[in-house]
Amino acid sequence: MSQPFTFVLGGAASGKSAYAEQLVTSAPPPWTYIATAQAYDTEMASKIDIHRARRGPGWVTVEAPLTLPSALATQSSGVVLVDCVTLWLSNLLLAETDPEPETRALLDAIKAAPVPVVVVSNEVGQGVVPAHALGRRFREAQGRLNIALAAQADCAVQIVAGLPNVLKGAP
């Protein structure tokens, strides 16, 4: 039997990560944070540092910028937070990896997880049409991934201006 799966979706800087972290820490530890970000520049390194500091002690961090499904499959206790599938997907596309089989593997890993899972993602469908082909490919792939995650989730929450809007189920 699979464990509860919560999908947290929102725009950039909407408060979705902080909300997801609060959701996870409402359960007893251990808490595992599967990080997908890569620090390609000082701005991103700073953002990663801010996220780490906000989480504080008590979290186990697993770095999985490309190997999210297998990292998730190794989790066996506590609650797992994946932050975020948007960066994971962009990492795949930049590595010229086909996202379709990776997306199926991620959905299977979530379904098989013996622990509760919270996944954070960006809503990209309300912005402008990207000017470049890679940007349009990313937006389409992210939209399909979000639709699949929301369909599989027991609970889906949209964060707008730091406020949760429950779309499906109960957090």
Tokens of 29: 């530890």
To the query of whether residue 132 is one of the catalytic residues in this protein, the response is no
Angle among Cα 90, 137, 161 to the nearest 5 degrees reads: 60
Position 163: which residue type? L
Q: Which of 77, 83, 89 is nearest to 50 (CA)?
A: 83
Give me the catalytic one of 47, 51, 139, 144.
51
Enter the DSSP assignment of 30: P
CB 36 within 8 A of CB 88: yes
Please tell me what DSSP assigns to residue 169: S
CB neighbourhood size of 39 (10 A): 12
Q: Tokens at residue 4, please?
A: 């509860």
Catalytic residue numbers read 51
